[in-house]
Amino acid sequence: MSERLWLVVPAAGRGRRMGAERPKQYLDLAGQPVMAHTLARLHAAFPMARLCLCLDPDDEYFDAAWVPFACWRRVPGGAERADSVANALAAIADTAADEDLVLVHDVARPCVSVADLRRLFDRLADEPVGGLLAAPVADTMKRDDGTGRVAVTEPRDGLWHALTPQGFRYGLLRRALEAARDSRNSVTDEASAVEALGFSPCLVAGRRDNLKITHPEDLALAERIFAAQQAEPSLGDSMTREAP
């Protein structure tokens, strides 16, 4: 690809559901902050990419030593994920071209594999709309009735768990987020903003261990995932090299 690759990592969240003394991106995971592992994985896959790291303006925990990218910038985070991503896109407006690829990745997903990152990138090379890593739903899905009881069992055929990264061309993604803002349409990820414009992003099957750390028990699970990934013959060497 001749287009530039931009990585946007929203990292301004407070992680209140974790109930920890600091935001979850700064909690210790295998001897390093969660953020350091996430950035290391992204760098292992895309060392020449340009990074926009969205941080709370009052962040007191961030250490620039955790950023392995040669080309990166700090961007003020917003109240919601979409606001942070929109801020990042606005910050690079004078440099990015409409056809540049933007990959948005949750800072709380440090277990994403380098192979999945590269697979997504390859799939999106000639993809006009964009797409996201996702995993087919394996569990039986229940919809509640609003009172904590089952209203209906939803067919799981065709259902996917949305993961990250999610990747779209700069021009389309910026237009989608601006449209969501103007219509006051609450979007929980980049794909839903693009879908609201009438597009259908592609689904790229990813590993199920691409865990998003959200609740206290997730940190211990992420520790076990890291240990298991290190033991995989096809992953162990590259994962070791990713550590900052």
CA distance 201 to 69: 28
Q: What is the pLDDT of residues 2-21, one digit of tens each?
A: 469 999 999 998 767 676 78
- Predicted local confidence at residue 185, as pLDDT: 85
Q: What percent of the chain has pLDDT over 90?
A: 84
**Domain map (residue ranges) of the chain:** 5-242
| pLDDT, tens digit (0-9, with 9 covering 90-100), for 148-187 | 999 999 988 999 999 999 999 999 999 999 999 999 888 9
243, pLDDT greater than 50: no
Mean predicted confidence (pLDDT) in 58-69 = 96
Does the model's pTM come out above 0.95? no
Instruction: Identify the pLDDT of residue 14.
Output: 75
Amino acid 240: pLDDT = 43
- The pLDDT of residue 70 is above 90: yes
pLDDT > 70 in the chain, percent: 91
Q: Locate the DSSP E strands across the chain.
A: 5-11, 28-29, 32-33, 50-55, 72-76, 101-104, 130-136, 141-144, 150-154, 160-169, 202-205
The span from the CA of 227 to the CA of 138, in Å, is 24
Whole-number pLDDT of residue 176: 97
Q: Which two tokens stand for residue 16?
A: 């209140």
Pick the CATH number of 5-242 from 3.40.50.960, 3.50.50.60, 3.90.700.10, 3.90.550.10: 3.90.550.10
Q: Residue 59 and residue 205: Cα distance in Å, rounded?
A: 34
Q: How far is CA 160 from the centre of its chain?
A: 16
